[in-house]
Amino acid sequence: AQRVTQPEKLLSVFKGAPVELKCNYSYSGSPELFWYVQYSRQRLQLLLRHISRESIKGFTADLNKGETSFHLKKPFAQEEDSAMYYCALSGGYGGATNKLIFGTGTLLAVQP
Amino acid sequence: GAGVSQSPSNKVTEKGKDVELRCDPISGHTALYWYRQRLGQGLEFLIYFQGNSAPDKSGLPSDRFSAERTGESVSTLTIQRTQQEDSAVYLCASSIAGGYSTDTQYFGPGTRLTVL
């Protein structure tokens, strides 16, 4: 079954502390993995995707196919990082529809 | 330019009534998606339109749900005989589609549906 698991509903850290938002997936094939973010009163938007291998707002995520994980990391959290983060996957190129399968989300709260 | 827009932003209805939700995608985006987010849950895929191809309806939860799209523009999601479990935020997204990897989906602000 295709599934994305985000085990933490809430992650609270202090400003300047490292952050790791966990994401594990189940998919037969080679999926594409994404992190989407929703800031307060804003719409859901793409943060980063694994094929880009880039750092966005200091966040990085490495796809680990052996552990079927795609954890989101940032070495030093900022208060403006407080938001809801969703991990998602799709079937990638050649996949039926590119529909996204989302996890349940993790609320990141960065305390001053 | 303008992003994806949805209307209404909020809809309160009584159990058993029909509702229509509207989505205006970004101009030029050929792919359009509908998702549903119930309280405390992740987004669930409902339906996908791509150009003139037959839509992927595999995520529609029951035959009370249907959606249409006019060409490559506006889409409406219709829920007939609403039930309380239909209460959710309904999100629409669009993408250019046709690339060599999954195209970025741009989301609208959502319609919050409450069924009393």
Cross-strand partners of B69: B75
Q: Chain B window 53-112: which residues touch A at a Cβ cutoff of 8 Å? A: 56, 59, 91, 95, 97, 99-110
Report the C-alpha gap between B21 and B78 in whole angstroms.
6
Q: Chain B window 13-32: which residues touch A at a Cβ cutoff of 8 Å? A: 31
Residues of A15-46 as b/e, b for ≥16 C-beta within 10 angstroms? eeeebebbbbbebeeebbbbbbbbeeeebbeb
From first to last of its 112 residues, what are the pLDDT tens digits of chain A? 789 999 999 999 999 999 999 999 998 878 889 999 999 999 999 999 888 878 889 999 989 989 999 999 999 999 999 999 999 998 755 555 678 999 999 999 999 9
**A-chain residues near B110 (CB < 8 A):** 43
